[in-house]
């Protein structure tokens, strides 16, 4: 019973305290070290343009970002009210970089305790009709140079030509980065598979989903069959949101390797809406 002293005598030399077990502690330390060595990222089109139950969806977004605590967060369709809401709650944890000021824009969040921001820039897509651009940040992660990118490519089927041009521009920028830099892109590309085939992906660049064996549960990030936010009655499923990686090529420089990915935002809120009409992608990369 609680409070009673046991009269049984134990040989402490033969019965190690599990809390002080050196083997267990060493294994737990190794696991923590491996986690610390990994880079984590979330990419998510948050649909800030939709006013329906925006406060509850914004609270849900903050909850996801806090729970997953990714090193890098890249968001699309951000608007000023959403940005102010998130900044108020997460500015102690993250550096905020905006891809615009008016209308809707992309945004990048960099965890202060894990990443050092060196510089950032906004690259304009000259022929866009939808205020689209490429947001780029150069950072240090565990003394390794990373070039982080996000974008929201031109929307709608009729914009295929411009969207493919934007993909070409991003791939050119990724493949021409210095050999000692790892380049990581995440964003809402609005791409159809045939458009990617038409453009082609450089051999130095890999698609995270493909590299991880094309997991079916992560195939569709915009799925009107499962996500009812837009009230679309017909089934429409696309892999709009994508993650691309170009590893550093210089000998002796640490390289990122795809480790895992999962869709997030799958839970319907009390307001009967999901956090966004897109699922987010949470992914991890190991460093070797």
In terms of phi and psi (left: phi > 0; alpha: psi -120 to 50; beta: otherwise), the region of 6 is: beta
Residue identified by tokens 């994508």 is 242
- Token digits for 147? 């070039």
CA dist., res. 14 & res. 16, Å (int): 6
Q: What is the DSSP letter of 158?
A: G
Q: Answer yes or no: are the C-beta atoms of 187 and 43 closer than 8 Å.
A: yes
From the candidates 11, 47, 179, 188, give the one annotated as an active-site residue.
188
Strands 115-124 and 133-141: antiparallel
**What ranges in the chain are assigned the alpha helix state H?**
22-37, 54-68, 80-90, 160-175, 193-199, 208-211
Q: Answer yes or no: are the C-beta atoms of 147 and 177 closer than 8 Å.
A: yes
CA of 127: how far to CAs of 101, 164, 206, in Å?
A: 19, 12, 26
- Clarify whether 50 is annotated catalytic: no
CA dist., res. 66 & res. 132, Å (int): 28
Catalytic residues: 188
């Amino acid at each position: 019973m609680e409070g009673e002293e046991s009269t049984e005598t134990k040989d402490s030399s033969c019965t190690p305290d599990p809390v002080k077990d050196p083997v267990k502690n060493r294994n737990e330390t190794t696991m923590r070290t491996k986690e610390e060595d990994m880079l984590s990222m979330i990419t998510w089109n948050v649909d800030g343009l939709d006013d329906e139950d925006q406060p509850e969806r914004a609270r849900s977004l903050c909850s996801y970002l806090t729970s997953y605590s990714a090193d890098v967060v890249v968001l699309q369709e951000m608007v000023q009210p959403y940005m102010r809401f998130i900044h108020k709650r997460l500015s102690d944890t993250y550096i905020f970089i905006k891809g615009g000021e008016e209308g809707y824009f992309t945004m990048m969040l960099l965890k202060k305790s894990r990443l050092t921001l060196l510089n950032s820039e906004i690259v304009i897509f000259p022929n866009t009709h939808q205020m689209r651009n490429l947001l780029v940040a150069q950072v240090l992660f565990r003394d390794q140079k990373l070039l982080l990118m996000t974008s929201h490519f031109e929307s709608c089927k009729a914009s295929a030509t411009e969207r493919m041009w934007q993909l070409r521009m991003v791939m050119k920028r990724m493949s021409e980065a210095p050999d000692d830099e790892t380049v990581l892109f995440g964003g809402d590309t609005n791409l159809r598979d045939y458009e990617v085939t038409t453009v082609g992906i450089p051999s130095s660049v890999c698609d995270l989903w493909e590299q991880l064996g094309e997991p079916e549960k992560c195939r569709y990030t915009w799925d009107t069959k499962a996500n009812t936010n837009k009230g679309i009655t017909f089934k429409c499923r696309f892999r709009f949101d994508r993650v691309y990686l170009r590893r550093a090529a210089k000998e002796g420089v640490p390289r990122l390797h795809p480790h895992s990915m999962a869709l997030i935002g799958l839970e319907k809120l009390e307001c009967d809406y999901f956090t966004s009409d897109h699922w987010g992608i949470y992914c991890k990369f190991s460093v070797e």
